[in-house]
Amino acid sequence: MTTSNVLISEVGPRDGLQNCSGIMPTEDKKRWISALAAAGVKEIEVGSFVSPKLLPQMADTDEIVRHAVQIPGLEVAVLVPNLKGAQLAIAAGAHKITLPLSVSETHSLRNIRRTHDQVIDEAKAIANLIAEQSDGKRPHFEGSLSTAFGCTLEGPIDEQVILKSAERLMAAGCDEVGLSDTTGYGDPASMRHLIRAVRRVVGDENLTGVHLHNTRGLGLANVMAAYEEGITTFDSSLGGLGGCPTAPGASGNVVTEDLVFMFESMGVDTGIDLEALMATRDIVSAALPGEELYGFTPRAGLPLGFKGAPVPAAAE
């Protein structure tokens, strides 16, 4: 097995907070994001440009993006449901835009009120908008195949629908597609199978990231299966916060602290300082009292003598 290094994309400020009953104050969000970046997190999905009526937790996304893009070296990602969201994301200076296409059309209608054809139209419009931007101002554009491993409303999704959706997103102008186990239905075998199937359609280089939930405790096992298939970007959430408000029963993301611990123990560099990462839990706990934070590593502490992966020598 190769031990290439990985990119951990923290989605707590978006996927995590959208599912919390409380609303994290804007200044706490900024402090949390800054602290995550200071701990070595290189990519953070900081919010989503959705209607504040639907998700009041995300109402300050514009201000949050404008704060996050000031942090040197941080890749600032946002989720957008449509062209209007993409316009706001670009105006705020986001580096990466993710458009979800729920392969379960029932969930797509529930989540962003759009059929598959309508989502593809939005993808085309967003790709055109990005193309119009000047050099250096074009965000990376990902189409995320959500509920790819099954939907709490529809059950298993026909694989042909998934593959067709991946193909259509790329044809619409996405830079890459991602696979999302929104509902935590995936297992290591289905993970390997679907990654291979989608890569056969879009090419290996156009599927590099997965977004996994730990709903049934298989999060890290699924990460390992994806890693062994050559996936290099893993979404996760501090304290395992998260879920989807419109997919009943969907719960927590893979816990970032445990994910970083696993990779660093294996000698795979994440660039993240685990102690500093775990210390950011205090910001979340203080801002959202009563919100349960998960994770085995933060509770057990680091093993005696733990050093983590060797930091690669800086390129000359």
Binding site for Zn ion (CB under 5 A): 15
Helices 116-132 and 105-112: crossing angle, nearest 10°? Answer: 60
Report in angstroms how near the CB of residue 190 gets to Zn ion at its nearest: 17
Integer Cα distance of 141 and 174 in angstroms: 5
Question: End-to-end alpha-carbon separation of the chain, Å?
Answer: 27
3-state secondary structure of 23: coil
Closest residue by Cα to residue 238 from 309, 187, 297: 297
Residue nearest to Zn ion (CB): 15
DSSP-H helix ranges across the chain:
26-38, 61-68, 83-92, 105-112, 116-132, 159-172, 188-202, 219-228, 256-265, 274-279, 281-287, 296-300
3-state secondary structure of 52: coil
* Structure-token pair, residue 173: 């102008």
Measured on CA atoms in the order 25, 40, 80, 179, is the torsion positive or negative?
negative
244 catalytic? Reply is yes
Report in angstroms how near the CB of residue 193 gets to Zn ion at its nearest: 20
76, 65 in Cβ contact below 8 A? yes
Active-site residue list: 244
